[in-house]
Structure formats: C-alpha cells, structure tokens
Amino acid sequence: MAYENESSEGVWVYCEQEKGKIHPVTYELLNKGRELADDLETDLNALFLTPDGSDAEELIYRGADGVYLIEDDIFDEPDERSFKEYIADLIKREKPEILLIGATNFGRSMAPRLAAALETGLTADCTGLKIDDGEFIQIRPAFTGNILAHISTDRCPKMATVRYKEFKESDRDENREGMVIKETADMIKGQDKITILEEIIAEDVGLQDAEIIVSGGRGLKDPNDFDLLEELCSVLDAKLGSSRPLVDEGWIPRKHQVGYSGKRVKPRLYIACGISGAPQHLAGMKESDIIIAINKDPSAPIFKYADYGIVGDLYEVVPELIEAFKEN
C-alpha cells in the first residue's frame, strides 16, 4: 500500500544486475540519489537483488549509505514477477520516500508492476530530478520533447525511472563506509519460476557507449547515402546514428536512432550531418562533449547547440572530412 510523506524517509536506488553483473545505470542513479539524499538530509540506500552479492560493497564505494542485499538464485533470471514481489515486501516494511529505477528494458517492465503492487504513481523516462523546497520534482519531456513537465506526487514511494546515460556516474571511493543489510529470500508467492527456453541476444550497435558518433538526418537524399556516413565512421572508428524520421521511413534500423524515443548518448564527439535539430533528437545528444553540425540551412536549430557549425552541403563537406582525416 502507498503511504504518506510523514511516514517515509530516505532515497532508495534499485540496482539492476544481470547474472550478478551490475548495470552501469546503477552508478548514475547512485550519483543523482546521493545529491537528492543530501538535499533532504537523509540516507541513500541501494536495493540489490542478485544471485551473487559479492559486489555489494561496490555500491557503498559509489555513494550508498546502506545496501539491502537479497541474494538468491531466483534472481539469476530476469523474471519481473519475482523481483517485484520481493521489492514490494521490503518497500512496504521500510517505507522509503523515493525509489529510483533505471529505464532499461527490464526496469521499464518491472517498475509499473511494482508501482501497481504498491498502489503508488510512477514517472517514467525522467531526464531530471531535483528537490525544490523539500519536494521531490521529477522532470521529463512531454509532447515529443517540446516541453518539460515538472511532476510532484503525494503518495510514497515516489517512483521514477531514469534513462541510461542521463546522469554522470558516481565517483568510486574505497574509503566510504556503509552497512550491508542481508535480507532473506524465503518466500515464494505461489508462482512458478520463469524458465528461459532460449536466449537470443539482439545486435547492439553500441551507441550509448560510443566515443564518437556520426548521425544522418533529413538532409540525406537516399537510404544508400548512409554509405557515405559509414565511410566517415570507418575513418574515425565511430558508430553510425540517425534521427527518427529516417528510421520511420525504414532507411535504417531503429537500433541506430538517437533521440528521446531512441538512444540517449554522450560521446566525446557527435557529428550531425543534415540534421536540423528537432527537440526530439536534441534530447538524445545535446550533452555530447563536442558537437559538430553540418547543414545547408544557417538557421537550423542545431547550430545553437553545436560547438562547431559548418554551413554547407553534406555531400560536399563529408567527403572532404574523410580525406582530411585519412591524411591525419
């Protein structure tokens, strides 16, 4: 059951793992969670359900004051039902004010189930979180990124999912001290354990971990013109990205899409070729360290965010860049 603010305290981060390996989004949430907890003058706790709890101390090094550890083989498989049941029982008992979950494939599937079990709300795909006059504010784009909605809820836990690469990872400090609280996994809620018949790993182009990304937009005239951008990628050892319209047209698979409904990326270098700079796309790449924009339209919105802008035809500029980079 949901509960009121007066009976709740603390910021909690659900620490996603796969086969015992912690997902990097966890460290991003611990960084933001530490900031929120400090603003509220409360504790930051990590919630770690895993078949192997050997990395529990790592969560303390990354900012947690305490780690609620439930270690059992049942968490070796990504069964949202099992995770939800164990987390819900612990949340009802400890009553944290805030619960943060990564907006990964698993997190997006498990979080609404958990919110329903706790009879509380959930703000999905947040791009910002803050404490304002003691209130937890959840910020997310709305209307395809044209506005930012600021959401506050009364019921606890105040749940939010946050996209991977939205925040910086927390620094690691082995001198930090905290407590690992071991919980028992001794209840099965009358349901059968999920059985994995076959595991198919979808190809991932690695956009979210790429150091350099070259993306194409509406300035491309033909699907085959991505070959030109791929040549630039080859020279720079970069990954190929795309804006949403070309994905919707079927020119390139969705796994290459950068933007609010695609991948959120933070490379060292982002080269936008023929991309005007729609809010949906900017939401996914504007935090890149260096942005180079190539566009024929000098008034294209992306130039407002670019560190370097080239006003010109990408079909003339990109080949020149390829030759220049080959020479160096």
Same domain, 19 and 87: yes
Structure tokens at 188: 């099965």
Structure tokens at 55: 């990395």
pLDDT band for position 141 (cuts 50, 70, 90): confident
User: Per residue in 51-92, pLDDT tens?
Assistant: 988 899 999 999 999 999 999 888 888 889 889 999 999 999
pLDDT band for position 191 (cuts 50, 70, 90): low
Same domain, 179 and 214: no
Question: What is the number of domains present in the chain?
Answer: 2
- CATH assignment at residue 294: 3.40.50.1220
Same domain, 164 and 293: no
* pLDDT higher than threshold 60 for residue 50: yes
* pLDDT higher than threshold 90 for residue 6: no
Same domain, 150 and 27: yes
Same domain, 87 and 149: yes
The domain in which residue 172 lies consists of: 5-183
* pLDDT higher than threshold 80 for residue 201: no
pTM of the predicted protein model: 0.81
Same domain, 106 and 255: no
> Strand ranges (DSSP E) for the chain?
11-14, 17-18, 21-22, 44-50, 66-71, 98-102, 122-126, 128-132, 135-142, 147-151, 158-162, 179-183, 212-216, 239-242, 269-273, 290-295, 308-311
Going by their DSSP bridges, the two strands 98-102 and 11-14 should be labelled as parallel
| Terminal-residue alpha carbon distance, the chain | 62
Same domain, 64 and 145: yes
Same domain, 281 and 177: no
* Mean pLDDT value across residues 147-155: 89
* Mean pLDDT value across residues 287-294: 95
Same domain, 164 and 286: no
Residue 202 lies in a domain: no
Residue 221 lies in a domain: yes
Structure tokens at 227: 């070959």
* pLDDT higher than threshold 80 for residue 24: yes
Q: Long-range contacts for 199-204 (Cβ within 8 Å, ≥24 apart)?
A: 202/255, 203/255, 204/255
Residue 198 lies in a domain: no
- CATH assignment at residue 68: 3.40.50.620
Q: Of 150, 183, 216, which residue sits at a domain end? A: 183
* pLDDT given for residue 3 in this prediction: 62
Task: Give the integer Cα–Cα distance in Å for 56 and 58.
Answer: 5
pLDDT band for position 234 (cuts 50, 70, 90): very high
Residue % of the chain over a pLDDT of 70: 93
Query: Apex CA 312: angle with CA 308 and CA 317, to 5°?
Result: 80
